């Protein structure tokens, strides 16, 4: 017998029939003798509808009232799933974030979980064999007693946090894909599903364009050592052995992966924009004058490259921002031109970031150089490069994205290698 957390996203609970399918998945695990807590998202599209209603009601609104509205989507799903489970003869009860409680910060719309009291759930597991159906994405601020929400993808974070609080043996993230792949199968048809991926690699994946898991949920899993399985909710519940290894990808500690490949996968993002500030005085305080105003405007800066001129008096600074923030960023920098003292501001939003990820890079030299040669042979110009211990990223013209991803995927033998 194991203690499991099962999380189902919006597409998995999009309508009543899919909610019944989820209930069959839950019943399978209960029938195998497992103790089960379920985390649910709002039905597909419902959160967007609730957000639109807030904006229609008023152009300016209190963030805490916004949270009260948008948190209701998960409340509906949790109640409906509990009803479906009860109709199948499974003892179940719905829980809202404030009922556990899930205590969070007071940053409405993007709150962080501070602690969860899992005692009530554990007690009900033991006494009543009761399935807890918990509304994800939400919590409560202890001092104000107001509902809070965790931001987009917050139900993943809820699931991992609940798993840590009740000391679950596993946290299963059910979604519309059957695991983590070496790259996006829509771009690389020969991409392979990974059997295992280390937490650190998954953090890079999630932050570099992969949409399967939310970054904060992976961070929580790593800190609390919660084993996470990413698996499909569209597999037939009756075809799965609840006592066997689940189909999907296990996110785990590096030590749990027997044979680690040098490169695990290739991620990419087209949601990037490049800004270059030309001929800035090379003196202390200039970087602060550039990046301080951007930080105050809540604009995230990623890749940063600095080139000093031959005379050492001026420098060029190139960096990337999210494409959605490109116009705002250039506007902020234009206002600060006198303080920064640059000669010219250049930019481009037709670029892409391609990243090569793998813990095995720690102990292998020349991994990046191999990629640079392969891209050059394909006529792909690299605008900027950043590296870390387990990944490197290149900035290229967006038109070459698919060619670059496929080239690198083949270069590192990911077309044929399965990880174990």
| Contact criterion met (CB below 8 Å) for 213 and 160 | no
Confidence class for position 20, pLDDT limits 50, 70, 90: very high
Confidence of residue 259 (pLDDT cuts 50, 70, 90): low
Q: Where in the chain is the domain with CATH 3.30.2130.10?
A: 265-411
Structure tokens at 414: 């990911």
d(CA 274, CA 303): 9
Query: Distance (Å, rounded) from C-alpha 257 to C-alpha 259?
Result: 6
Structure tokens at 190: 């020969």
Cα 185 from Cα 266, distance rounded (Å): 11
Calculate the average pLDDT of the chain.
91
Asked if residue 42 lies in contact with residue 110, where contact means CB atoms within 8 angstroms, the answer is no
Cα separation, 401 vs 420, whole angstroms: 28
Q: Backbone dihedral region of 267: left (phi > 0), alpha (psi from -120 to 50 degrees) or beta?
A: beta
CATH class (in words) of the domain with range 3-254: alpha beta
Q: Is the dihedral of CA 73, 75, 79, 82 positive or negative?
A: positive
The domain defined by 265-411 carries CATH number 3.40.50.720: no
Question: Which is more confident, 416 or 300?
Answer: 300
Q: How far apart are the first and last CA of the chain?
A: 25
- Residue closest to 219 by CA, chosen among 153, 296, 127, 128: 153
Q: Dump pLDDT digits (tens) for 74-99.
A: 999 999 999 999 999 999 999 999 99
User: What is the C-alpha separation between 55 and 57, in angstroms, rounded?
Assistant: 5
Please list the residue range(s) of the chain that carry CATH number 3.40.1160.10: 3-254
Q: Which residues contact 205 (CB under 8 A, 6 or more apart)?
A: 180, 197, 212, 213, 265, 267, 357
- Whether residue 148 is predicted with pLDDT greater than 90 in this model: the reply is yes
Average pLDDT over residues 177-195: 91
Specify whether the CB–CB gap between 183 and 267 falls below 8 A: yes
pLDDT at 419: 44
Contact between 392 and 386 under an 8 Å Cβ cutoff? The reply is yes
- Residue 191 · residue 184 · CB < 8 Å: yes
* All residues at 6 or more sequence positions from 240 whose CB lies less than 8 Å from its CB, including other chains: 25, 28, 246, 247
Q: Which two tokens stand for residue 247?
A: 């189909």
pLDDT, tens only, 191-237: 999 999 999 999 988 877 666 788 889 999 999 999 999 999 888 88
* Contacts of 404 by beta carbon, 8 Å cutoff, 6+ apart: 268, 352, 354, 375, 378, 380, 394, 396
Which pLDDT belongs to residue 209? Answer: 62
Per-residue confidence at 360, pLDDT binned at 50, 70, 90?
Answer: confident
């Amino acid at each position: 017998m194991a203690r499991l957390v099962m999380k189902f996203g919006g597409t998995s609970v999009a309508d009543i029939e899919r909610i019944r399918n989820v209930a069959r998945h839950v019943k399978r695990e209960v029938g195998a003798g497992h103790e089960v807590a379920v985390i649910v998202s709002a039905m597909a599209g419902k959160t967007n509808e609730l957000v639109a209603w807030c904006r229609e009601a008023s152009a300016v609104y209190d963030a805490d009232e916004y949270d009260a509205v948008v948190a209701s989507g998960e409340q509906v799903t949790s109640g409906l799933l509990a009803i479906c489970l009860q109709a199948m003869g499974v003892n179940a009860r719905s829980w809202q974030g404030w009922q556990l409680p899930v205590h969070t910060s007071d940053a409405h719309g993007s709150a962080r979980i501070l602690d969860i009291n899992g005692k009530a759930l554990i007690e009900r597991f033991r006494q009543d064999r009761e399935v807890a159906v918990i509304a994800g994405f939400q919590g409560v601020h202890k001092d104000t007693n107001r509902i809070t929400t965790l931001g987009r993808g917050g139900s993943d974070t809820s699931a991992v946090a609940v798993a840590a609080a009740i000391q679950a043996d596993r946290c299963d993230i059910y979604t519309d894909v059957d695991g983590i792949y070496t790259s996006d199968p829509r771009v690389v048809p020969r991409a392979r599903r990974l059997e295992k991926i280390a937490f650190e690699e998954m953090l890079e994946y999630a932050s570099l364009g992969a949409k399967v898991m939310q970054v904060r949920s992976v961070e929580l899993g790593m800190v609390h050592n919660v084993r996470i399985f990413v698996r499909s909710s569209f597999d037939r519940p009756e075809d799965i052995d609840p006592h066997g290894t689940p189909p999907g990808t296990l996110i785990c500690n590096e030590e749990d992966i027997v044979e680690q490949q040098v490169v695990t996968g290739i991620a990419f993002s087209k949601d990037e924009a490049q800004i270059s500030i030309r001929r800035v005085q090379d003196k202390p305080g200039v970087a602060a004058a550039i990046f301080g105003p951007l930080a105050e405007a809540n604009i995230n800066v990623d890749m940063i490259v600095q080139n000093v001129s031959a005379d050492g008096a001026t420098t060029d600074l190139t960096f990337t921002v999210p494409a959605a923030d490109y116009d705002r960023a250039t506007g902020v920098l234009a206002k600060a031109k006198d303080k920064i003292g640059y000669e010219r501001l250049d930019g481009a939003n037709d670029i892409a970031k391609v990243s090569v990820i793998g813990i095995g890079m720690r102990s292998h030299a020349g991994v990046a150089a191999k990629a640079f040669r392969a891209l050059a042979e394909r006529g792909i110009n690299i605008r900027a490069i950043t590296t870390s211990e387990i990944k490197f990223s290149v900035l290229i013209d967006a038109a070459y994205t698919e060619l670059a991803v496929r080239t690198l995927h083949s270069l590192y033998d990911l077309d044929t290698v399965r990880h174990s």
